[in-house]
């Protein structure tokens, strides 16, 4: 690499594989091997150029010509398929707005992350933090999450970091197109200052005025090759003339296409007239057919309306039944919570559910380690049905904390009576402080739901000792080894 050069690009080629229908799994690729066809799209076709130290170069060209691909190759985001790229010094790039930013972190935290990508250590960032914030003009937003930033604020912060890393080479891709006019001017002036300080700048832009003012050279890339490389004013002028010629050629093409469209429309109009005449001949027959169809549709509509009314009545009955069942939650539990919901066929159903403290008194507040009794009264339409009584406890953030069934705990089912009572006794309530919901249900041995009530009772657990953390307390001891 020549000592006066900051960047040397030699015979660089880059292509991409554009798959028409690509299998993503190995099985798909083996079974449908003929679907892995792709088009080899060559973006760069052997370009070569040098950028001297302290020189500013603008890459111009129409969309899709390979400008941004060239810039990504310089930053080593992409690798060339052929050729070599050499750079000397620290490279800083502004390729994509907000690249390297974490949306949930604050602007200040993202400064550290973005700077580390450029190889800047934290203590260096500490020294430059005030300069970065001052240039970005985001003092009142710097500690807010960057997901709350606008695109202009993203650009301000990214640009402020990039220009404060003391880069030898600065690569910019259309980033100055974002933000308000005053900040664009500020950034442009800063780039001019960096250029005067000897920073090598390569910029991709469609704003040819900026390229002419900022850049010493301009490289015009057209369809993957360098069409012209020279002074910015001359190259930009030639590029604009070529674009104008292309615009005129396109206008001529569109004019010819318009004439062809008009000719086609006339032919279609003649065809439409012929079809209209045919339609009129068929219209009378269609009217007769339509009348017969209307009668059939009318009959079908009346039948559907009758069916819909019957279905609506059934749904209304179910809604009223569900409302009645949910309302019954307050009838069986004086401690009923506001979100209680009930379902089941009620062959066996609860008639009363209460939570009692260690003094056998109804309560909604308990203490960790306290004895708790859940008293459940029920009645059965068919005495002798086997029932599995179930309780569940869920925290108010919907974390399922505990559940128990008599079938699992005692390996038996309850032979229900006309009216009966089941008590579930918790000898030591190991739940830690929080708000919880009690669920109760009765199922058959074949998992048929007799009665199912969610969030029947909302209760509070207090932990005055507060020596454990989490959902529940574990019995434990600490043992220290006394050997020397």
pLDDT along the chain (484 residues), means of 10: 88 83 61 66 89 90 87 87 89 70 86 80 85 86 88 81 81 69 80 86 86 88 90 90 87 89 90 88 86 89 88 77 70 84 90 92 91 94 92 92 92 93 92 93 92 91 80 83 69
What integer pLDDT is reported at residue 379 of this predicted model? 93
Compute CA distances 483 → 264, 288, 480, whole Å. Answer: 101, 107, 9
Q: For domain 341-462, say whether CATH 2.70.50.60 is its number.
A: yes
pLDDT by residue (tens digit) across 40-51? 888 888 899 999
CATH topology identical between 5-243 and 341-462: no
Domain ranges across the chain: 5-243, 341-462
Identify the three-state secondary structure at position 22.
coil
What integer pLDDT is reported at residue 30 of this predicted model? 65
341-343 and 372-380 strand pairing: unpaired
Query: What CA–CA distance (Å, rounded) separates 257 from 281?
Result: 36
Upper half-sphere CA count for residue 19 (Cβ side, 13 Å): 9
CATH topology of domain 5-243: Rossmann fold (3.40.50)
What integer pLDDT is reported at residue 317 of this predicted model? 73
What integer pLDDT is reported at residue 18 of this predicted model? 76
Phi, psi of 85 (to 5 degrees): -135, 125
Within 8 A by CB and 6+ apart from 40, the residues are 15, 16, 17, 18
What integer pLDDT is reported at residue 421 of this predicted model? 94
CB distance 203 to 214 below 8 Å:
yes
Within 8 A by CB and 6+ apart from 22, the residues are 35, 36, 38
CA angle centred on 412, ends 408 and 415, rounded to 5°? 135
């Amino acid at each position: 690499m020549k000592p006066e050069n900051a960047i040397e690009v030699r015979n660089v080629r880059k292509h991409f594989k554009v798959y028409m229908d690509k299998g993503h799994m190995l099985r798909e690729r083996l079974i449908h091997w003929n679907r892995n066809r792709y088009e080899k799209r060559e973006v760069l076709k052997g370009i070569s150029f040098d950028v001297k130290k302290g020189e500013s170069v603008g890459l111009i060209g129409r969309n899709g010509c390979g400008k941004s691909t060239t810039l990504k190759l310089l930053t080593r985001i992409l690798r060339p398929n052929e050729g070599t790229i050499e750079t000397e010094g620290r490279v800083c790039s502004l390729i994509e707005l907000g690249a390297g930013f974490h949306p949930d972190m604050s602007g200040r935290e993202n400064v550290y992350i973005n700077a580390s990508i450029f190889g800047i250590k934290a203590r260096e960032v500490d020294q430059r933090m005030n300069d970065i914030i001052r240039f970005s003009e985001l003092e009142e937003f710097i500690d807010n999450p960057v997901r709350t930033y606008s695109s202009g604020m993203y650009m301000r912060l990214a640009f402020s970091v990039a220009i404060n890393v003391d880069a030898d080479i600065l690569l910019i891709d259309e980033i100055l197109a974002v933000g308000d006019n005053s900040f664009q001017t500020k950034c442009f002036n800063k780039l001019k200052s960096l250029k005067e300080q000897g920073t090598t700048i390569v910029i991709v832009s469609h704003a040819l005025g900026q390229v002419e003012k900022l850049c010493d050279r301009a490289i015009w890339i057209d369809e993957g090759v360098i069409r012209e490389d020279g002074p910015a004013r001359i190259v930009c002028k030639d590029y604009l003339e070529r674009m104008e010629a292309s615009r005129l050629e396109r206008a001529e093409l569109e004019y010819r296409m318009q004439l062809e469209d008009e000719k086609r429309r006339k032919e279609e109009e003649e065809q439409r007239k012929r079809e209209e005449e045919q339609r009129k001949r068929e219209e009378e027959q269609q009217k007769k057919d339509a009348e017969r169809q209307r009668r059939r549709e009318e009959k079908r509509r009346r039948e559907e309306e009758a069916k819909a009314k019957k279905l609506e009545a059934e749904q209304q009955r179910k809604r009223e039944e569900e409302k009645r069942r949910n309302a019954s939650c307050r009838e069986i539990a004086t401690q009923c919570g506001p979100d209680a919901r009930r379902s089941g066929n009620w062959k066996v159903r609860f008639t009363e559910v209460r939570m009692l403290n260690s003094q056998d008194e109804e309560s909604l507040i308990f203490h960790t380690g306290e004895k708790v009794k859940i008293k459940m009264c029920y009645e059965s339409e068919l005495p002798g049905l086997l029932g599995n009584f179930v309780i569940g406890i869920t925290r108010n953030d919907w974390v399922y904390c505990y559940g128990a069934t008599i079938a699992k705990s005692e390996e038996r089912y309850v032979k229900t009576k006309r009216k009966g009572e089941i008590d579930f006794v918790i000898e030591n309530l190991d739940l830690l402080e929080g708000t919880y919901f009690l669920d109760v249900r009765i199922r058959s041995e074949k998992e048929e739901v007799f009665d199912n009530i969610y969030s029947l009772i909302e209760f509070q657990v207090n932990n005055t000792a507060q020596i454990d953390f989490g959902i529940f307390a574990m019995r434990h001891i600490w043992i220290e080894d006394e050997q020397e």
